[in-house]
């Protein structure tokens, strides 16, 4: 089946949700309660059409004057006056004043058709917005005529081939989407907007109720109205297709890298540092950031508990000077109170900062702050989107999370473990009247990692991880470790001395044995000499005897017989 | 464009300025033109100026005059400005808007 032709809205996220935009050449109803963002969505559809897709548009306003509209949308960065002067946009404010108007006999809406047709033809419009048609019902008498005429209007728009957005306001009837039942006339696509306030936090949602001939996401999707228009939070979590990197990012703490297979985190992975209060989570994050900046990487640091200057001052106390990195533009802080805005706004701000700053690393300190703003599920959804975005862009994310005292350490306030690739746990180790910090790797996907608890010390040269001491099955830290270290040192000294003593004794013994060997060898040499002389004498004697006998024989032969 | 309730029971000395907007030569348009011309001739006694505008010929005028419904009769002068929509078959309504007594019909 051929894909239904669609007109891109250019609204962030909406085109993904609808599989390419609104039905081309047809009408879409955008409805919702007062102040839900209908007009802005419709206007953005026109503005993006004109600026991005070369499709001029007509905005017919039934509620706001052109002047008001221009001013209202200027806050979104839309310059309507410029678009109008470039003939990319036509604004028409329809004023129907019931008190100045009387009916005498049958009428029709041909005037509206002519007016709209003239506006469309004058700029060659491909898109039309009618905001909000229902106003006609209060402005004009005889709703029976109006209904018939509206039906004719939608047919006429379809014949014109313009892609139309019609806005409608939700009335008191919870069953109906709009006061006048406009959904009956617009059968191709219906989008419902919602603006609700829960726990004093407002959130906006969008839902595609109906899209004839096209698949579409049916959930409610949060959206935001911010300084550059509407943005539906990206629905990237629908797939798990991001590329992964084998590149490593050092953690900035030598001992920690050693625990993580010797090299650190994977690039593009998400790292969670959790622990109870005061265990050094922020310091770990800052050292990671500082080390990255020292390598020339860019770090975006979202702080939700401390101000920028407070972080800089505090980190100076552990020997981390963040000022140069900030001055070089490698480190960017974004500090705000989490309760200042809703979750979607936070996410949108983060995504915008990410897009603008293009960081290699992003730090969020701490994640928990969001729980104060939204419920657990919302927070999880938001983090899912954030983590997805980071993974897509191969940005390494480091998040800290405060574990409430008494809670299980392996449990975070937000059940986000599944999103996390490397989870570091910092915990208190109480021993011998001291409280020290220990760090271990709870999990680290795709790499060999240490199973040990290391002592985690905040020194004036930054974070240092010390090898853990295992004595009687306990990890020794702090003074206990120092005592253990000195004990071991004296033992080592003693052993060294003993060894050298033994070495000396051995050498003496060797010398003695050597001397004995020499004496025996000399004795043997003397014996050998004597024996050789005797052997020589014996042989000489033997030769002499043989010679004597021969001489004797000769002599006998010579004598007269 | 605010209306002034209670203004003008006495007809202004100036001639009444009327504009009738129609769309083409449809039955409804022709009926409206005929009805308005009849009312003017019968009730305004020559002290009027009537302009009949076919929006098919001058579509740009729809926006400026805030026309949506047709046919539409606008009383520009004397103030307050008023508008009647329809084929003007209800003469009494038209006269009401024009601030004219109905007994002369």
**pLDDT tens digit sequence for A97-110:** 888 888 888 999 99
Residues A503, A507, A512, A514: what is their CA dihedral angle, to the nearest 10 degrees? 140
Contacts of A136 (CB under 8 A, 6+ apart): A62, A96, A109, A146, A150, B68
Q: Give the single-character DSSP code of A62.
A: S
Q: Bin B11: left if φ > 0, else alpha if -120 < ψ < 50, else beta.
A: beta
Could you write out the three-class secondary structure of A344-372? HHHHHHHHHHHHHHCCCEEEEECHHHHHH
Q: Find the residue in A nearest to B88 (Cα).
A: A104
- Residues from chain B that touch A112, judged by Cβ atoms under 8 A, are 68-69
Instruction: Report helix, strand or coil for A546.
Output: helix
Nearest to A269 by CA among A443, A445, A440, A401: A445
Q: Peptide bond before B78: cis, by omega within 30 degrees of 0? A: yes
Residues A222, A225, A230, A233: what is their CA dihedral angle, to the nearest 10 degrees? -30
Count Cβ neighbours within 10 Å for each residue of B15-32 and write b for 16 or more, e otherwise: ebebbbbbbeebebbebb
Contacts of A301 (CB under 8 A, 6+ apart): A285, A289, A311, A331, A332, A333, A334, A362, A363, A365
Distance from CA of B1 to the nearest CA of A (A): 9
Determine whether the interchain pair A114/B87 forms a contact, defined as Cβ–Cβ distance below 8 Å.
no
A407 touches A430 (CB < 8 A): no
Determine whether the interchain pair A114/B56 forms a contact, defined as Cβ–Cβ distance below 8 Å.
yes
Nearest to A478 by CA among A493, A448, A499, A456: A456
Higher pLDDT, B103 or A51: A51
Tokens of A366: 């701490």
Stated as kind and residue range, the H or E segment containing B2 is none
Instruction: Report helix, strand or coil for A480.
Output: helix
Cα–Cα distance between A151 and A185 in angstroms, integer?
Answer: 6
Q: How many CB pairs under 8 A join A and B?
A: 106
- Residues from chain B that touch A118, judged by Cβ atoms under 8 A, are 59-60, 62-63
A165 touches A128 (CB < 8 A): yes
Cα–Cα distance between A377 and A371 in angstroms, integer?
Answer: 9
Determine whether the interchain pair B86/A106 forms a contact, defined as Cβ–Cβ distance below 8 Å.
yes
Q: For chain A, how far is it from start to end, CA to CA, in angstroms?
A: 152
What beta strand segments (E) does A65-162 contain?
Answer: 89-93, 101-103, 127-131
Q: At A272, phi and psi to the nearest 5?
A: -115, 130
pTM: 0.65
pLDDT confidence of residue A411: 60
Determine whether the interchain pair A100/B60 forms a contact, defined as Cβ–Cβ distance below 8 Å.
no
Distance from CA of B3 to the nearest CA of A (A): 7
Q: What is the ipTM of this complex?
A: 0.84
Q: Find the residue in A nearest to B81 (Cα).
A: A100
Cα–Cα distance between A488 and A494 in angstroms, integer?
Answer: 10
pLDDT confidence of residue A471: 55
Count Cβ neighbours within 10 Å for each residue of A208-241 and write b for 16 or more, e otherwise: bebbeebeebeeebbbbbbeebbbbbbebeeeee
**CA atoms in the 13 A half-sphere facing the CB of A427:** 20
Among the partner-chain residues B81, B82, B85, the one whose CB lies closest to the CB of A103 is B85
- Residues from chain A that touch B28, judged by Cβ atoms under 8 A, are 106-108
The residue among B63, B92, B94 with the most chain A CBs within 10 A of its CB, best to mutate, is B63
A299-303 and A331-335: which strand pairing? parallel
pLDDT confidence of residue A402: 83
Nearest to A378 by CA among A424, A427, A414: A414
Tokens of A15: 């085109």
A338 touches A373 (CB < 8 A): yes
Distance from CA of B13 to the nearest CA of A (A): 22
Cα–Cα distance between A82 and A359 in angstroms, integer?
Answer: 34
B16-22 and B48-54: which strand pairing? parallel
Nearest to A58 by CA among A125, A132, A12: A125
Handedness of CA A160, A165, A171, A175 (dihedral sign): positive
Instruction: Report helix, strand or coil for A318.
Output: coil
A57-61 and A89-93: which strand pairing? parallel
pLDDT confidence of residue A414: 55
Q: Which of residues 38-57 of B touch A (CB under 8 A)?
A: 55-56
Q: For chain B, how far is it from start to end, CA to CA, in angstroms?
A: 30
pLDDT confidence bin for B104, thresholds 50/70/90: very low
The residue among A92, A110, A150 with the most chain B CBs within 10 A of its CB, best to mutate, is A110
Cα–Cα distance between A186 and A347 in angstroms, integer?
Answer: 34
Mean pLDDT of the region B11-40: 87
Q: Find the residue in A nearest to B93 (Cα).
A: A104
Distance from CA of B72 to the nearest CA of A (A): 8
pLDDT confidence bin for B96, thresholds 50/70/90: confident
Distance of CA A295 to the CA centre of its chain: 20
Mean pLDDT of the region B20-25: 93
**CA atoms in the 13 A half-sphere facing the CB of A558:** 6
Contacts of A359 (CB under 8 A, 6+ apart): A297, A298, A299, A300, A332, A395
pLDDT confidence of residue A237: 45
Distance from CA of A82 to the nearest CA of B (A): 20
A6-7 and A22-23: which strand pairing? antiparallel
Distance from CA of A144 to the nearest CA of B (A): 14
Pick out chain A residues at pLDDT < 50.
1, 237-238
User: Quick check: B46 pLDDT over 50?
Assistant: yes
* Cβ-based burial of A347 (10 A; exposed 0-12, middle 13-18, buried ≥19): buried
Cα–Cα distance between A21 and A13 in angstroms, integer?
Answer: 10
Which residues are registered as beta bridge partners of A471? A474
B86 touches A107 (CB < 8 A): yes
- Residues from chain B that touch A99, judged by Cβ atoms under 8 A, are 3
Contacts of B4 (CB under 8 A, 6+ apart): B79, B80
Q: Give the single-character DSSP code of B69.
A: S
Which residues are registered as beta bridge partners of A398? A271, A363
Q: To 10 degrees, what angle do helices A38-52 and A66-74 make?
A: 80
Residue carrying the six token digits 């806005």: A167
Cα–Cα distance between B63 and A111 in angstroms, integer?
Answer: 9
- Residues from chain B that touch A110, judged by Cβ atoms under 8 A, are 23, 55, 70
Cα–Cα distance between B69 and A258 in angstroms, integer?
Answer: 80
């Amino acid at each position: 089946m051929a894909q239904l032709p669609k007109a891109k809205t250019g609204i962030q996220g909406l085109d993904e949700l609808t599989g390419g935009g609104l039905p081309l050449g047809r009408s879409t109803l955008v409805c919702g309660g007062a102040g839900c963002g209908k007009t802005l969505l419709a206007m953005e559809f026109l503005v993006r059409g004109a600026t991005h897709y070369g499709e001029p548009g007509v905005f017919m306003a039934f509620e706001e004057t052109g002047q008001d509209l221009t001013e209202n949308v200027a806050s979104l960065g839309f310059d309507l006056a410029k678009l109008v002067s470039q003939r990319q946009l036509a604004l028409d404010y329809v004023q129907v004043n019931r008190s100045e108007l009387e009916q005498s006999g049958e009428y029709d809406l041909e005037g509206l058709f002519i007016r709209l047709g003239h506006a469309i033809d004058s700029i060659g419009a491909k898109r039309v917005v009618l905001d909000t048609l229902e106003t006609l019902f209060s402005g004009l008498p005889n709703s029976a005529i109006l209904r018939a005429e509206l039906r004719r209007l939608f047919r006429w728009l379809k014949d014109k081939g313009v892609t139309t957005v019609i806005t409608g306001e939700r009335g008191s009837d919870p069953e109906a989407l709009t006061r006048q039942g406009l959904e009956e006339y617009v059968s191709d696509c219906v989008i419902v907007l919602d603006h609700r306030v829960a726990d004093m936090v407002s959130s906006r949602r969008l839902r595609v109720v109906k899209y004839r001939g096209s698949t579409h996401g049916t959930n409610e999707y949060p959206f935001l109205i911010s300084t550059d228009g509407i943005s539906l939070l990206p629905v990237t979590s629908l797939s798990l297709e991001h590329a992964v990197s084998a590149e490593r990012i050092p953690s900035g703490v030598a001992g920690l890298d050693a625990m993580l297979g010797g090299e650190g985190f994977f690039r593009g992975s998400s790292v969670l540092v959790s622990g109870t209060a005061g265990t050094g989570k922020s310091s770990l994050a800052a050292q990671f950031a500082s080390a990255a900046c020292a390598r020339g990487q860019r770090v975006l640091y979202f702080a939700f508990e401390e101000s920028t200057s407070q972080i800089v001052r505090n980190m100076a106390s552990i020997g981390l000077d963040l000022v140069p990195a900030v001055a070089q533009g490698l480190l960017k802080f974004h500090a705000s109170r989490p309760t200042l805005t809703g979750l979607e706004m936070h996410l949108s701000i983060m995504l915008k900062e990410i897009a603008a700053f293009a960081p290699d690393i992003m730090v969020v300190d701490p994640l928990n702050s969001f729980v104060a703003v939204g419920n657990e599920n919302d927070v999880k959804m938001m983090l899912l989107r954030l983590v997805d975005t980071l993974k897509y862009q191969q940005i390494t994310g480091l998040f800290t999370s405060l574990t409430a005292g008494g809670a299980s350490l392996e449990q975070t306030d937000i059940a986000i473990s599944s999103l996390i690739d490397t989870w570091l746990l910092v915990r208190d180790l109480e021993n011998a009247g001291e409280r020290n910090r220990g760090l271990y790797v709870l999990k680290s996907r795709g790499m060999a990692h240490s199973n040990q608890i290391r002592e985690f010390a905040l020194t004036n040269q930054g974070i240092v991880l010390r090898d853990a001491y295992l004595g009687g099955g306990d990890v020794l830290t702090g003074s206990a470790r120092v005592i253990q270290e000195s004990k071991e040192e004296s033992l080592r000294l003693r052993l060294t001395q003993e060894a050298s003593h033994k070495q000396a004794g051995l050498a003496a013994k060797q010398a003695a044995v050597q001397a004995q060997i020499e004496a025996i060898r000399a004795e043997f040499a003397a014996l050998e000499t004597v024996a050789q002389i005797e052997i020589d004498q014996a042989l000489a004697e033997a030769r002499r005897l043989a010679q004597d006998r021969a001489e004797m024989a000769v002599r006998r032969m010579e004598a007269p017989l | 464009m605010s209306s002034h309730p209670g203004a003008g029971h006495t007809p202004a000395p100036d001639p009444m300025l009327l504009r009738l907007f129609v769309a083409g030569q449809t039955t409804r348009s022709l009926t409206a033109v005929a009805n308005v011309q009849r009312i003017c001739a019968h009730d305004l006694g020559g002290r009027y100026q009537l302009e009949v505008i076919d929006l098919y010929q001058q579509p740009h005028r729809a926006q400026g005059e805030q026309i949506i419904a047709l046919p539409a009769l606008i009383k520009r002068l004397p103030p307050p400005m008023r508008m009647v929509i329809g084929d003007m078959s209800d003469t009494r309504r038209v006269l009401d808007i024009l601030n004219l007594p109905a007994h002369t019909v």
